[in-house]
Chain A
């Protein structure tokens, strides 16, 4: 022992001691790395399981994410809130006009979210036309966390997503909970269903090119009267992002078309309509108030809506798409691409799924009516 100590003093650590220390260090590093790997894998898996799947009654949270698996050569991209994803059917636009379109809609999509979604979309593709539903101009500041989640969680990570989160967050929200959604959804452990496990990694799309299909009917009978507002002017923030959206489209060479979808509620005030008309005129944009064209479209609110006038059902959406398809083809000069064999084949598949879903939903509706 003494000799060993003496050797150590003279020559430093012995070779065997050094080897031992090296080994020990390696073991520690290996342990740390393996534990870290286990934890990260475990957390990633847990996060997948705990995040809402949005495949039941609240499908709206799945919409934004479905875009990424699509081919990226659309002629038209619709952008906006529920008034786009329930009211327009890309299947009809293809079938009737050969227009390849996609709806990047989400529940209560705010205008800054529409802007950043457009910015992100343009990194994938440059459509000929971008159709923006102007209802979200009514909001000037962040609204609800649950709706933010439905738009933002589906977005892929990009500079657009980061900026979008920053401007969308309500006071109670925290950026880190978007980076690690497990921090937000950790308390779902007690409400997990079989679906949360089976659909954690793969789930079927809930939309048809962004269209949320509903075949059931709930007639619009008692539309609440629009309450008077103190100030009808759209907010500065809303205008700021509308300006940005206009500039973005101009720079990208994409025609921006403004629309107001023909939903009866929430109310669309004449004062609001006038402001959008003025804006469109100043900026040389097309603006279609489809609410005013309901008769021309042939909408019957006793049969064409599934929730008493808020959103159109399949029947209403198909009527509107036929009408609007003609506008896109004639006013915006979009060509019929049915001759594109590859695209036509893809659409054939999509149309088949679309028809099957109609059939499935109709059977369900008929059965529940019979009961």
Chain B
């Protein structure tokens, strides 16, 4: 059951009715059942993965929590009789035990993710090595199931486990309540990757019906469908066609691919998140925002603070900080400090930790080298920008136009172009093809395609392009208005006829201009496969 299916829409409306009919204390149970039905409808076998991740992380958190409680109790009871050294030793011993638990459970949970997502990538690379070594032996690929959104709920569950380990939160004792946190259906297959402390408790609370939640939530859902069906799936037609034949569609077509794919990715992912947040709001639950107008960023660094925020902060908190604070990094820092000075000693661990984060981010996005290269390119650009920062500052101080609108627009345009180029690595599985396509732009002789009607041979009619342009204009306008506050609050403040016109207009646009139904592959969202 996907967000864009009729079955899902029926499921959602039925759920709303039931949700507000039953007593508030049972609402969370209904949500739990809904999550499992939703995932089961996509494929019954997916449930095995969901259950395994839930059981493992629940158990690990309980064991760790128990160890912390026991430690506290022990110290309370016998702490008075122990000297400082004995206490320290006892704490270290307990910490070691907990570390053992977390490491083992992390290995188990990550093994599930790896077995579903990365085993064939591993075999592919092993085969390449065997071939290079002259061995005629090749390992066969395994036909494995890749459950929708496995990376999202696995990371969410790992985050919970690590938070309990760090003592930031206590473990949830009720298995079913915890299971709801992992399987909350609106965010199950494409995030955001929520934190237990932000989401869980609001899910268990009773939620009385509030017209405002329904109104705001449904409007957000409708806006999400608009982005997905009117923009993303319209662009998908062209992007799919162009990506199918890189030999034919290169040169100037690469520019179209980069721009169209980048806009499609935005409309698809943010549209999906709008639907997620909107559904949660209808149910009275607040899910954190995952985007803050990312294409208005003036640098790549800023972009990554505004794009897929929950993933970036997850990697920051659970990968970057532990790696940069690790003993190994401290040693490297000291060594670098001695060799190249204190500044380098401070920076090197940051850069190396960032390298690990971006390598992991690339692999998280997909089990192929193009994603690894994409991740590392992001890292390289960010690190170069960081190194050149003093130069920028000097430049900005020297010229008066810095900070003015034209320069800000230039910065936004430059960052968008950079994102377009980086996104090209998402498009082709082979890095060599991506590079070939990228370089084909410079020697392109087919720029006339923008004027000779070639664009009308890519699966979209002139009317489609008009709709697309108008829809993109709408998305930009909404983002601009958003900078000054919530658009939905503004709409709610309008007179009733104007409000109704917005609702009906948006609904009709989705209904008429959306690419769905027979002949269209609206189905999956791009981020469902991650």
A complexed with B: yes
> Is A186's CB under 8 angstroms from B461's CB?
no
Interface locus among A135-143, A175-183, A270-278, A345-353: A175-183
Contact among B496, B511, B515 with A182 in the assembled complex (CB-CB below 8 Å): B511
* B:490-506 near A, CB below 8 Å: 496, 500, 503-504
Residue pair B461, A187 in contact (C-beta under 8 Å)? no
Partner of A42, one of B6, B504, B518: B504
Q: Counting CB contacts under 8 A, is A9 at the interface?
A: no
Query: Given B500, B507, B515, B517, which contacts A183 in the complex, CB threshold below 8 Å?
Result: B517
What range describes how many residues of B lie at the interface?
Answer: 10 to 19
Interface residues of B in 447-494 (CB under 8 A from A): 461, 463-464
The secondary-structure label for the interface of chain A is helix
Residue A31 is within 8 A (CB to CB) of chain B in the complex: yes
Q: Which residues of A contact B339 (CB under 8 A)?
A: none
Closest residue on chain A to residue B515 by CB atoms? A187
Q: How would residues 31 to 57 of chain A score, 1 for a CB under 8 Å from any chain B CB and 0 otherwise?
A: 100010011001100100000000000
A287-B410 Cα distance, complex, nearest whole Å: 80
> In the complex, are the beta carbons of B518 and A189 less than 8 A apart?
no
CA distance A184 to B511 in the complex (A): 10
Contacts of A43 in B (CB 8 A): 511
Q: Look across to chain B and name the residue whose beta carbon is closest to the beta carbon of A145.
A: B518
The answer on a CB contact under 8 Å between A172 and B518 is: yes
Contact of A189 among B6, B500, B512 (CB under 8 A): B512
Give A185 Cβ to nearest chain B Cβ, in Å.
9
Interface residue A367 (Cβ < 8 Å from any Cβ of B):
no
Residues of B with C-beta under 8 A to A38: 500, 504
Smallest CB–CB gap between B59 and chain A, Å? 42
The answer to whether A190 touches B504 (Cβ under 8 A) is no
Q: Which residues of A contact B35 (CB under 8 A)?
A: none
A189-B517 contact in complex given A35-B500, A42-B504, C-beta closer than 8 Å: no
Q: Is there an interface contact between A186 and B504, defined as CB atoms closer than 8 Å?
A: no
**CB–CB B461/A190 < 8 A:** yes
> Does A173 interact with chain B (Cβ within 8 Å)?
yes
* B5 → A minimal CB distance (Å): 9
- B249: interface (CB < 8 Å): no
Max chain B C-beta neighbours (<10 A), residue from A46, A173, A174, A186: A186
Q: Nearest Cβ in chain A — how far from B131, in angstroms? A: 40
A173-B6 Cα distance, complex, nearest whole Å: 12
List the B side residues contacting A35 at CB < 8 Å: 500, 503-504
Report the Cα distance A42→B511, complex, angstroms: 12
Considering the complex, give the chain B residue whose CB is closest to the CB of A34. B500
- Tell me the complex Cα distance, A187–B233, Å: 13
Bound Cα distance from A187 to B463, whole angstroms: 11
Q: Does B272 contact A (CB under 8 A)?
A: no
| CB closest chain-A residue, reference B463 | A190
B118 within 8 A of A: no
The answer on a CB contact under 8 Å between B464 and A177 is no
**Interface 0/1 of A146-181, CB less than 8 Å to B:** 000000000000000000000000001110110000
Q: Determine whether B147 belongs to the interface, using a CB cutoff of 8 Å to chain A.
A: no
Closest B residue to A183 by CB, please name it.
Answer: B517
The answer to whether B278 has its CB under 8 Å from any CB of chain A is no
Contact B496–A189 (Cβ < 8 Å): no
Task: List, in ascending order, chain A residues with CB within 8 A of B461's CB.
Answer: 190
Kindly state whether residue B513 has any CB partner on chain A within 8 Å: yes
B149 within 8 A of A: no
Contact across chains for A187 and B504 when beta carbons are under 8 A apart: no
Could you tell me the distance in whole angstroms from the C-beta of B464 to the nearest C-beta in chain A? 7
Judge if B514 is at the interface, Cβ distance under 8 Å. yes
**In the complex, are the beta carbons of A176 and B515 less than 8 A apart?**
no
Given contacts A31-B496, A35-B500, A39-B504, contact A186 B514 (CB under 8 A): yes
CB-defined contacts of A46 to chain B, threshold 8 Å: 508, 512
Provide the residues of chain A in CB contact with B517, threshold 8 Å.
174, 177, 183-184, 186-187
* Complex Cα–Cα for A35 and B504 (A): 9
Within the assembled complex, what's the spacing in Å between the Cα atoms of A174 and B463?
A: 27
Give Cα A121 to B420, complex, Å: 60
A173 smallest CB distance to B (angstroms): 7
A174 to B461, CA, bound (A): 26
CB-CB under 8 A from B504, the residues of chain A are 35, 38-39, 42
Please, which residues of chain A bring their CB within 8 A of the CB of B508?
A: 42, 46
Give Cα A54–Cα B512 distance, bound, in whole angstroms.
Answer: 21
CB distance from A170 to the nearest CB of B (A): 9
Chain B 413-426, CB-CB to A under 8 Å as 1, else 0, gives 00000000000000
A186→B500 contact, CB < 8 A: no
B511-A186 in contact (CB<8A): yes
The contact of B464 among A42, A184, A186, A190, by CB within 8 Å, is: A190
Q: Closest CB of chain B to A174's CB: distance in Å?
A: 6
| Chain B residues positioned under 8 Å from A182 (CB to CB) | 511
Q: Are A176 and B518 in contact, CB atoms less than 8 angstroms apart?
A: no
Contacts of B516 in A (CB 8 A): 183, 186
CB distance from A207 to the nearest CB of B (A): 27
Tell me which residues across on chain B come within 8 A of A190, comparing CB atoms. Answer: 461, 463-464
Which residues of the partner chain A approach B496 to less than 8 Å between Cβ atoms? 31
- What chain B residues lie within 8 Å of A145 (beta carbons)? 518
Residues of A within 8 A of B464 (CB): 190
In chain A, what residue has the closest Cβ to B514? A186
* Beta-carbon contact of B518 and A186 below 8 Å: no
What is the distance, in angstroms, from A27's C-beta to the closest C-beta of chain B?
9
The residues of A that contact B511 with a CB separation of less than 8 Å are 43, 182-183, 186
Across the interface, name the chain A residue whose C-beta is closest to B211: A28
How many angstroms between the C-alpha atoms of A176 and B516 in the bound complex? 13
Q: Which of B500, B515, B518 is most buried by chain A, counting CB atoms within 10 A of its CB?
A: B518
B149 CB to closest chain A CB (Å) equals 24
Closest Cβ neighbor of A149 among chain B residues? B518
Q: How far is the CA of A38 from the CA of B463 in the complex (A)?
A: 27
Per the bound structure, the CA–CA distance linking A187 and B230 in Å amounts to 11
What are the residues of chain A within 8 A of B513 when measuring CB–CB? 189
A191 CB to nearest chain B CB (Å): 9
Bound: A31/B501 CA distance, A: 13
Least Cβ–Cβ distance between A109 and chain B, in angstroms: 20
Complex CA gap A187/B504 in Å reads 18
Contacts of B503 in A (CB 8 A): 35
Residue-wise, chain A 170-214 has the 8 Å CB interface mask toward B (1 for contact) of 001110110000111011011000000000000000000000000
What chain B residues lie within 8 Å of A39 (beta carbons)?
Answer: 504, 507
Query: Taking the nearest CB of chain B, how far is it from the CB of A149, in angstroms?
Result: 10
| CA A46 to CA B507, docked complex, whole Å | 13
Nearest residue, chain A, Cβ from B507: A39
Q: B514 contacts which chain A residues (CB < 8 A)?
A: 186
A150 CB to nearest B CB, Å = 14
Known A177-B517, A186-B517; 7 more pairs at CB < 8 Å: A31-B496, A35-B504, A39-B504, A173-B518, A174-B6, A187-B512, A189-B512
8 residue pairs A–B, Cβ–Cβ below 8 Å: A31-B496, A42-B504, A46-B512, A176-B6, A186-B517, A187-B515, A187-B517, A189-B512
The 8 closest A-B pairs by CB, nearest first: A190-B463, A176-B6, A35-B500, A189-B512, A186-B512, A172-B518, A184-B517, A186-B511
> Which B residues lie at the A interface, using CB under 8 A?
6, 461, 463-464, 496, 500, 503-504, 507-508, 511-518
